[in-house]
Structure 1
Amino acid sequence: MLKNIAKSFLNVLMNITTFLSLLKFGFNKSSIPRIILCNTPTHGNIGDQAIALAELEFLKKNFKKIKLIEITEDEWKYQKDRILKRIHKNDVIVIHGGGYIGTLWRNECNTAIEIITLLPENNKIIFPQSTYYGDWNVLEHDKNSFSSAQKLWFCARDESTFNFVIDKLKINKKNVFLVSDIVTTFDWNKKNIKYKKRNEVLLVLRKDVEKTREENFEGKVEMLLQNEKYKYNNLDMFQPYYINLFRKHIVLNRLKKFAKAKFVITDRLHGMYFSAITNTNCFAIDNVSGKVCGGYKWLANSRGVNYFESEDDLLEYIQNIEERYVSYNYKFLDKNFDEVVELMDNLLNAEEE
C-alpha cells in the first residue's frame, strides 16, 4: 500500500517537474545560440549522476556567457514534442556521456539516436562515451543512424571506443575526439576539506548486466579482508528512486565516503574514478564492456590506482597490500578537452556572426 502511494507520488512529482522543464527555455525568441544538455539521467546510477554534474560544471566554466539548459531523459520522454518546438536550429546540442552507446543500456542509446535524428540542423556533440555491442544487427542499425548524421561530433573516453566509432559506426575520424571520462575533471571538494581515512575498505562491486566476476569472488575478498583485520563495507552505487531533486547531495555524500575509506575494491569505472578524485587507494578489475581497463589508462600515472587483469591477481595482492600516497590533480586531464572547448566555441560564435 505504502509502496503504491509512494510510487504514485513520485509519478505526479515527475510529471510536474517535466512540465516545468519547458519554462527553462523562457519566452524570449532570440536567435542567440544556447547550449542544450540532453539525456541526463533521472535513474539512480550515481556514477551517471556524477557525470551530469561534471558536465554542467564543465559547460558553465568554459561558456559563462552562454545560456545552458538541461533536459533530462524523462523530460525528453514526456515533453519531447514541446521541447523540439523550443529548440532553435543554432542551439548547440550536447548529449550526456556515459557507457550506454550499444546494447547494454538500450533505452538511453535509443534516446541519443532519437535526439540526433530529430535535430538534423543542429550541431550535436556526444560527450565522453564507451561503446559495447553484443548484437551485430543492432550495430548495423546504429551505424546507419550515426554515419548518416550531419553536424555530429563524438567524444570517446577510451581508445577502444575511439577506434570502434570510426571503424564500425563509421563516424568521420575528424569528428571524433579521444578524451577522458568527464568525472576526472570534477572539482567536487571546492573547500579542500581534508578527510581523515578510516580503517574501512569499501567494496564497490556491480550487481547488473555489466558484472563479469565469479559468484564467489566477493566472498573470497571478504574472507581475506577479515584475515588481514580490515573492516569492510559494501557500498552501492545505485539509488532505487527518483534521484534528481537530491542529485548533488547524494553524489557528494558518496564521494565523502570514498574520501574517508582506507582503500576501495571495485569493478566499476566510477568506483575507480571516485577513488582517484578523492585521493583514495583503489584496486580495480574489469567489467563486461572493458571500460574499466580503458579508463584506467588515463590514471596509469596515479600511483594509488591499481588495475588487475584477473580476479586471482587482485586476491593475491590483498594479502600483501602496499598502500601508496595518492594526490590527484584536477587539472591533470583538463587539457584533453581543449579541442572540445575550441570546437564548441567556434560553433557558438559562428552562429552569432
Structure 2
Amino acid sequence: MKRRKVRIALLFGGRSAEHEVSLASASAIYKNLDRNRYAVTSIFIDKAGRWRRVGSPLLPPEKLQNGPSSSFLPWEAFPSLPRRVRADVYFPVLHGPYGEDGTIQGLLEMADVPYVGAGVLASASGMDKAVMKVLFADRNLPIVRHRVYVDVEWQKSRKAILDLIGKEFPLPFFVKPANLGSSVGISKVKNRGDTERALAWAFRYDRKVIVEEGIKGREIECSVLGNDEPRASLPGEVIPYREFYDYRDKYLDGKTRFRIPADLPAAVVRKVQRLSVEAYLAVGCSGMARLDFFLEEGTGKLYVNEINTIPGFTEISMYPKLWGVSGVPFGRLIEELIRLGLERHRRKKRCLDRLAR
C-alpha cells in the first residue's frame, strides 16, 4: 500500500527587514525536501502581510508578489486556516518581527495546527535580546555587560544616557535594535562622537535598543536540535571580512570565511555544546536554534551572545552546515525538524485532552 505523503505548508517572506533572507532560506529548504515523502504547499507572505499560495519559493520576487492566485490576510482565513491550507505541519521560515517573534506561532497555536520550531513564548523571548539576556542570567550563563534603553527614555534623557554609556562602556562597543536579527541596524562604536548616531540608527528599527560591551576575540556558533532533550552540533567559527559579521557580510558580499568545524580544543568544544543546550533550555526552545558566542582573546572566556530560534537556512548558513559536519545532512535535518514539530503538537494535545476529562 502506497504511503501518503506528509503535507508541508512552507511559510516564507514576511513583513520584516529580513524578508529577502527568508526567501533564500525557504528556497534551500524547498530544494532539499524529499518529494517522495513530502507534498509542499508554498505560502508567500508579502511585505504588507498578505498571504499568497505560490508555486514555489524559487519563483522570481516579482512573480511572488504578483502571482495569479488571490491573496488573503491571515485573520480572514482564521479559524478556517486548516481548511484553507491543508497541511499536516506548517514550517515557518520567517526571520525577524512578524514571524520569528511569536506572532505567527500564536496564530498557528490558535488554529491548533502542528508547526516546526519554537513556541510562542520561546520565539518572543528569543527575538528580544534584552529578555533573552535576562533568561540567560537567570541560568547563570556568562553574558557580556549591557544596558537596555527604550525610545521614550532616549528622547527625554539623551544627554544622561550618553554620559552613562561613556562612563560604563570602553571602546569599542555595540549598539543593536533589541528585536532584529541578521545584524540589521547594528553599529560598532569606535569613537565617542559616534554614540548618538549609533543609537539613533538603532531606534529607526526598534523602540528598544541594547548597548553591549565589545569583546575582542573569536565568533563561535553552535546549532541545537531537539525538544525536551536537545543535542548540540560541533561548533563553527565565523571570520568576518569586515570588523563584525554584519548584514552585508552575511548575505551580499560572501567574503566572510568560516571554519566548519571550528579549530578549538576538545574541552572548549564540549563547553560550547553544554552552554548551547543550557541556553536553549533557558529560553524554552523546541525544534531548533543557533547559539552565538564570543571567545575572548587572552582570557579564553566564553560568553553566550544570542540565540536565534529560526536560524538562516540558506546554502551558506551555519545552522545546516554545522549539522552537516556533525553527521546530519540537510535533507535529514529537515525531516527531523518536521518530526519534532509533529511530536511537540501531539504531546501538547495529550496534555489538553487530560485536562478536558
Judging by fraction of residues, say which structure has more strand.
Answer: 2
TM-score of the alignment, normalized to the shorter chain, above 0.5: no
TM-score norm. by structure 2 comes to 0.34
Judging by fraction of residues, say which structure has more helix.
Answer: 1
